[in-house]
Amino acid sequence: MPQISWMNAKQKLEKPTKVKVFNFLEKLQENDAIPGLHIEPIQNSVDARARTGRVDGSLRAVLYRIEVEPGGPLYVYIGTYEHDEGIEIARTRVLRVNPINGVTELINAGAPEPVRTTTPFVAESATGPGAGHASSAVALLVEHGYVVEDLTHQLGFDDRTAAALMAVPDEDALLLLGAELPNQWQQNAVLGLAVGDSIETIKTSLGLGAPVAAETSGEAPVDVTVDVDDRDGVRAPATTLEPTASPDDALVASLQRPASRMQFTLIEDNAELRRVIDGGDFGAWRVFLHPEQRAYASRSYNGPFRLSGGAGTGKTVVLLHRARALEARYPGSRIALTTFTRALSTALDRDVQRLDPSLDRSRRLGAPGVLSSGVDQLAAAVRDNASKDRWATAMSAVLGHSVEGSVELVSNDHGWLEAIDDADGGLPEELATTSFLEAEYLQVILPNRITTGDEYRSVRRAGRGIALDRARRNAVWKVVERFRANSRSLGRLSWAELSSVAAAHLAAHPSERPIDHLLIDEAQDLTPSQWQLLRELVPEGKDDLFIAEDAHQRIYGQHVVLSRYGIKITGRSRRLTLNYRTTQQNLQWALGVLEGASFEDSEGTVESAHGYRSARRGPAPELHGAATPADQFSFVTDRVRSWLDAGVAPETIAVLVRGKKQASAVVQQLSAKGVSVSDMDAPRGLPQVMTMHRAKGMEFSRVVMFDVTNGVIPSPWALRDKTGDDLDDAMLRERSLLYVAASRARDELVVTWRGVRSSLIENVSHL
Q: Is the pLDDT of residue 111 over 80?
A: no
Confidence of residue 279 (pLDDT cuts 50, 70, 90): low
Question: How confident is the model over 69-76, as a mean pLDDT?
Answer: 87
The answer to which of 173-182, 450-459, 535-544, 619-628 has the lowest mean pLDDT is: 173-182
Q: What SS3 state is found at 504?
A: helix
State how far the Cα of 750 lies from the Cα of 735, in Å rounded to an integer: 17
Q: Are strands 74-82 and 59-66 parallel, antiparallel or unpaired?
A: antiparallel
pLDDT for the residue 285: 67
User: In this structure, are residues 50 and 90 in contact, taking their beta carbons and an 8 Å threshold?
Assistant: yes
Give backbone dihedrals phi and psi of 155, rounded to 5 degrees, phi first. Answer: -90, -30
pLDDT reading at 319 higher than 60: yes
364 vs 216, residue with greater confidence: 364
Q: Within 13 A of 675's CA, how many CA atoms are on the CB side? A: 26
Q: For 370-396, give the DSSP string.
A: EEEEEHHHHHHHHHHHS-HHHHHHHHH
Is pLDDT of 401 > 70?
yes
Predicted pLDDT of residue 99: 94
> Residue 669 to residues 633, 676, 750: CA-CA distances in angstroms?
7, 10, 18
Distance CA 79, CA 267 (A): 14
What pLDDT was estimated at residue 207?
87
pLDDT of residue 478: 96
Average pLDDT over residues 83-102: 96
In the sheet that 369-374 helps form, which strands lie side by side, from edge to edge? 369-374, 334-339, 517-520, 545-549, 305-309, 573-576
Residue 148, Cβ neighbours under 10 Å: how many? 17
The CATH number assigned to the domain with range 586-761 reads 3.40.50.300
Query: What is the reported pLDDT for 287?
Result: 65
Is residue 161 within 8 Å of residue 174, measured between CB atoms?
no
Q: Residue 351 is inside which H or E element, if any? A: helix 342-355
pLDDT at res. 766: 52
Confidence class for position 303, pLDDT limits 50, 70, 90: very high
pLDDT digits (tens, 9 = 90+) for 250-272: 999 999 999 999 999 888 777 77
pLDDT of residue 244: 53
Query: Domain 300-380+511-576, what architecture?
Result: 3-Layer(aba) Sandwich (3.40)
The pLDDT, as a whole number, for residue 290 is: 87
Segment 675-702 mean pLDDT: 88
Q: Is pLDDT above 70 for 129? A: no
Give the C-alpha distances (Å, rounded to integers) separating 406 from 51, 315, 491: 70, 39, 7
Q: How confident is the model at residue 233 (pLDDT cuts 50, 70, 90)?
A: very low
Q: Which residues make Cβ contacts (< 8 Å) with residue 450, sequence separation at least 6?
A: 444, 456, 459
| Alpha-carbon span 559 to 464, nearest angstrom | 10
Q: pLDDT at residue 134 above 70?
A: no
What value does the mean pLDDT of the chain take? 88
Q: 0.85 exceeded by the pTM?
A: no
231: pLDDT confidence band, cut at 50, 70 and 90?
very low
pLDDT of residue 463: 79
Instruction: State the pLDDT at residue 576.
Output: 93
Residue 476's nearest CA partner among 447, 530, 439 is 439
Pairing of strands 369-374, 334-339: parallel
Residue 767 C-beta-side C-alpha neighbours within 13 Å: 14
Residue 429 has pLDDT above 50, yes or no: yes
pLDDT at 536: 98
Cα–Cα distance between 596 and 439 in angstroms, integer?
Answer: 25
Predicted local distance difference test score (pLDDT) of residue 218: 32
Question: For residue 474, which phi and psi values (nearest 5 degrees)?
Answer: -60, -40
- Res 115 pLDDT > 80: no
Condensed to tens digits (0 to 9), the pLDDT of residues 480-539 reads 999 999 999 999 999 999 999 999 999 999 999 999 999 999 999 999 999 999 999 999
Q: What is the pLDDT of residue 703?
A: 98
Report which of residues 645 and 278 the model is more confident about.
645
165 and 190 Cβ atoms separated by less than 8 Å: yes
pLDDT in tens, 323-332: 999 999 999 9
- For 546-551, what is the mean pLDDT? 96
- Nearest of 524, 575, 572, 570 to residue 551 by alpha carbon: 524
**Digit-coded pLDDT (tens) for 437-496:** 999 999 999 999 999 999 999 999 987 878 899 999 999 999 999 999 999 999 999 999
Element (DSSP H or E) covering residue 438: helix 434-440
Residue-level pLDDT at 138: 81
Output the pLDDT for position 219.
32
Lowest mean pLDDT among 21-35, 570-584, 597-611, 691-705: 597-611
